[in-house]
Amino acid sequence: MKKIAIIGDRFMLPDVFRDKIVEACGDGHEIRLLEQPWPDVPMEHGYAVEGMDGLKEYLGKPDEIVRFIGDAEILVTQLAPLSRTMLADLPSLKLVAVSRGGPVNIDMKAARDAGVRVVNTPGRNASAVAEFTIGAILAETRLIRVGHEALRRGEWRGDLYRADRTGRELSEMTVGVIGYGNIGTKVVRLLRAFGTKVLVHDPYVQLSAEDRNAGVEHVSLNELLERSDVVTLHPRVTEETKNIMNAETFAKMKPGAIFVNTARGPLCDYDALYENLINGHLASAMLETFAVEPVPEEWPLLKLPNVTLTPHIAGASVRTVTYAAEMAAEEVRRYIAGLPPVNPC
């Protein structure tokens, strides 16, 4: 029998974790549950809290988390932090399954030093984000936001049927996808169904045979920016990709193009985007992630009429919850069975 501590929240529900673990591992284990109040309470970042340096996007007071985990050998969580000091107080802990793409809430060096196996769930929300991205693109290309906002004001925009004002179909457009990982590959597949010409920039991977045979092109960043009617971001945040969209790269985009960011805020220089939206170089933008979250009320991009905004919800879907829990449960099963992990960190 293993002692398993589950720290879920109001998205990654503790009951779902437990049910998936019981399905995968049987019900002969001691399982304790804790629910954190995220997303109703915002996450924290370690740079603002003594002893939590380097940890990001976590929730929970260290003493309370340590007390709850106690003598558990296995921890399953999305947001609970684990610092070096906390790990030192958890000598029984041997496995941490983090139900997210990257274990940014865990001190990975400290975990390795303590002999704690950390696993994650990459791609857990890839389908959700890809699907959301297509909706984001369509909101701009087919003037869904423009028509919606006008009607909310009591204004009937019949003029949007004019040939010089109406939107364009994806079947006649070129969309540039920056980043060809779990999400980017799914975005490409969905775009192909519309008959869209798709360009991909990712210097570290090659196109699949299926995409290559379907006419998807693997191009340089400059070529993608110059040719694309829509540019959508999907790389991971690294030193190389931080502010990949900046004053220089925005200037290289096609005049009248559309910019979409459903990935991460640090990928974009939002001041430069603002300038390109107000000077007319870019037609519009759809933004789902931001440099600071929640967004300040006086942020200039909130005031622009040619911007659609959502509060970082692209990865939120019912299927994401169950899929991530299934992935975490499989890692728990493999640990108990003495098998190597599927997704070690």
Give me the active site residues, please: 264, 293, 312
Are 13 and 35 in contact by the 8 Å Cβ rule? The answer is: yes
Output the six-digit token pair for 134.
């297509």
- Which residues, at least 6 apart from 76, have a Cβ–Cβ distance to it below 8 Å? 4, 5, 6, 7, 8, 17, 21, 96, 97, 99, 328, 332
Q: What is the DSSP track for 206-246?
A: ---HHHHHTT-EE--HHHHHHH-SEEEE-PPP-TTTTT-BS
> Of 38, 43, 105, 54, which is closest to residue 75 (Cα–Cα)?
105
Query: How does strand 30-35 pair with strand 74-77?
Result: unpaired
The amino acid occupying position 23 is E
Q: What are phi and psi of 121, to 5 degrees?
A: -130, 70
- Which residues, at least 6 apart from 149, have a Cβ–Cβ distance to it below 8 Å? 305
Longest Cα–Cα distance of the chain, Å, equals 69
> Which residue's entry shows tokens 């019981």?
22
How far is CA 269 from each of CA 59, 76, 261, 262, rounded to the nearest angstrom?
Answer: 27, 35, 11, 14
CA 4 to chain centre: 27
The residue ranges of DSSP E strands in 122-272, in sequence order, are: 174-178, 197-201, 217-218, 230-233, 257-261
Total Cβ atoms within 10 A of residue 164: 5
